Structure 1
Amino acid sequence: MKRIVMTGGGTAGHVTPNIALIPRLKKLGYDIHYIGTEKGIERKLIEKEGIPYHVINAGKLRRYLDVKNLTDAFRITHGFMQSLALISRLKPNIVFSKGGFVSSPVVWGAWMNRVPIVIHESDITPGLANKIAIPFAKKVCYTFPETGKYISEDKGVLTGIPVRDSLFFGEKKMGKEICGFNDEKPIILIIGGSLGSQVINRNIRANIKTILKSFQVCHICGKGNIDKNYEGIKGYKQFEYVREELSHLFAMADLIISRAGATVLYEILALKRPNILIPLSKKASRGDQILNAESFKKQGLSHVIMEENLNSELLLEGIKKVYKNRSAYINAMNLNRAGSGIDNVIKVIQKFSK
């Protein structure tokens, strides 16, 4: 039996593609282990999959000067030593890294133990953790065609992003029952990312009375972001985070408003849902979501509103425009050849499993 160690964390986008691969890896007979942090979102998500989870320390990698860089350097060093020992004990045939701060020490530990490493990059430009890890990898799988210019041809391979099979089995009726919705109005699904978005939450709630005149709204607002002042409003349902029921909520959605992380973009694309993207601004990120959103906009797959421009007028106009022209967006998605990257990524993993 071959053994694989998977890693990646910090946000759901660094974990859900790994989760998408797990059922296929199990069918192929892989013994799967996961390395993550003690309190990261990856632990909560992975432990539900029933695979061994190993904890290491991790520090944040920053592109700017900060006194925390000193203390985090010790955490990273400790994480590396823990990873070195773990990889030595587990003796995997391969390590698969999805990125995030926890992944770098794991990659270094695997390289020191001469274990082959495969990395997956979701966004158009590689994140800092992946940039640091790429020199140690045998292969780098990537999602967007534009990413090829940032990775050497001998290492890079366009695979797409793994999309969970379970998302394709959602039931519209079940989604409506979960939310208490009826058949009288179409439904908007709001996805603010695993941590939620204060900007999106604030704009949706400020305009909820107007939106509810024409739509019902399912709002995934992030941990700790449920507003009790809006509970009990007919046609409006709030969730902090959704996992098992997400396929049903996708199935019932006539329109989706979302951040622009690569994972959710390709889930929306695979499920052919008209959408409005509000990418995280450069003030709070390295700008990867903006590039992702622009790519989808150029392909006619999405309507984009920049976070710094978001207001009631643009939000309501965008909803009206996308819903009115939903057939055109769906047709563009049907013509797009990108789908789930599970098969492509699995081929790379099998090829380099020593």
Structure 2
Amino acid sequence: MKIAVSGGGTGGHIYPALALIREIQKEHRDAEFLYIGTEKGLENTIVKRENIPFKSIHITGFKRKISLENVKTVLRFLKGVRESKKMLKDFKADIVIGTGGYVCGPVVYAAAKLGIPTVIHEQNSVPGLTNKFLSRYVDRIAVCFEEAKSFFPDNKTILTGNPRASEVLGQDGMKGRLSAGLKTSMPAVLIFGGSRGARPINDAVLKTLAELGEKPYQVLYITGDVHYEDVRKEVELVGSPENVIIKPFIHNMPEVLAGADLVVSRAGATTLAEITSLGIPSILIPSPYVTNNHQEKNARALSDHGAAELLLEKELTGKKLIDHIDKIILNPNKMNDMKKASSNLGIPDAAKRLYGIMAELVSSKQK
């Protein structure tokens, strides 16, 4: 099968695509891939590093107010469609899947107009503009949250989960703990704010360092590279408790995540897919700076089912953070209930589900 993949702009669109490709490669060595992205997007670096054939088009998103730039975007879209059609014909694509971002618009639209089977994958509980637009043209829409179904036509929308979830399963959590300097004998809380960190979370943790040092659990606190030096200086002033380990970044996140008993994080779609596939309780502090406030809606999809505690950034203080952590990790019954709820929301075989939909579409087309 020849599979064209498109997704870009943020890791939340790129990493699920790569997870899907890796899963298919494991099971179907004869599958061929072409990734279509943009030169300036993260995908240009990340996908090429994976040695996946990569081609690019130039596309930008629409501005939310009337401007000349939107006219240029329409022209870029039309040019992108023409270029995508040529790429897909040359590749002889059997199917095209878009995992989000502006670049998917012309690529998936071009495939639909060529009569190539098409799928879009929506990671968030509230879809972006591109996937809303494409939903009218594609054959199937794969979603990660039940809440997202209401935005799409019911007859072609399927709950599959996020392929990224598959990659954290089977990881050695104890090995992950040891690699991060955590003890295997104490409950572990993992706190992070995404790859770049989150200043409000950093500030809340710094204000509670002394109190955290007296707790019967340990904390691995990932600051993000941008904030690490400032945090380190603050820690030197107040003293660093033995049970609090501070790092700028970790490269083996799936392993370390598998060793955590409780996670405190933002509410990005990929993170939530990973923690629910592992059945980990969480305290979610959604970023209020994202389109359509989708992180809060992602978080509520877990908190409404008892799998997470929701703590809004505007309400975040050091005291509230510690109170939330203590309420969960020092209460075995609550921990167990949240673990079960988290597991119930997890879809660990997401990549296989998604590939099954794709294979079915290709088979139907060939008949």
- Relative to the length of structure 2, the TM-score reads 0.86
Per the TM alignment, residue 120 of structure 1 is displaced from its structure 2 partner at its CA by: 1.0
Partners of 1:196 and 1:205 in 2: CA distance? 14
* 1:246 paired to 2:250: no
* 1:18 paired to 2:17: yes
Cα 1:116–1:326 shift into 2, 3 Å? same
Which residue number in structure 2 is paired with residue 276 of structure 1?
283
Partners of 2:196 and 2:44 in 1: CA distance? 15
Which residue number in structure 1 is paired with residue 300 of structure 2?
294
Contact 2:101/2:130, CA 8 A, preserved across alignment: yes
Task: Kindly provide the amino acid, as one letter, of the partner of residue 217 in structure 1.
Answer: V
Partners of 1:83 and 1:194 in 2: CA distance? 31
Task: Kindly provide the amino acid, as one letter, of the partner of residue 359 in structure 2.
Answer: Q
Deviates more, 1:129-138 or 1:68-77: 68-77
Larger helix share, 1 or 2: 2
Task: Show CA shifts across 1:106-132 (max 9, x none).
Answer: 112222333221011122222111011
SS in 1 for 2:93: coil
Task: Show CA shifts across 1:325-350 (max 9, x none).
Answer: 32221132345574432222111110
Task: Show CA shifts across 1:136-188 (max 9, x none).
Answer: 20111112222222211222122222234331232233223322233464322
Deviates more, 1:211-220 or 1:46-55: 211-220
Partners of 1:14 and 1:331 in 2: CA distance? 28
Unaligned runs of 5+ in 2: none
Which residue number in structure 2 is paired with residue 203 of structure 1?
204
Matches within 5 A, 1:139-288: 139-183=140-184, 185-214=186-215, 215-222=217-224, 224-227=226-229, 229-230=231-232, 233=240, 234=242, 235-240=244-249, 242-243=250-251, 245-281=252-288, 283-288=289-294
- What is the number of residues matched between the two proteins? 350
Deviates more, 1:47-56 or 1:113-122: 47-56
Partners of 1:177 and 1:337 in 2: CA distance? 26
- Name the Cα RMSD after superposition: 2.5
- Relative to the length of structure 1, the TM-score reads 0.88
Deviates more, 1:182-191 or 1:260-269: 182-191
SS in 2 for 1:169: coil
Partners of 2:52 and 2:104 in 1: CA distance? 18
Contact 2:166/2:350, CA 8 A, preserved across alignment: no
Task: Show CA shifts across 1:269-294 (max 9, x none).
Answer: 1111121011122x543122111211
Identity %: 29
Contact 1:12/1:194, CA 8 A, preserved across alignment: no
Partners of 2:346 and 2:232 in 1: CA distance? 40
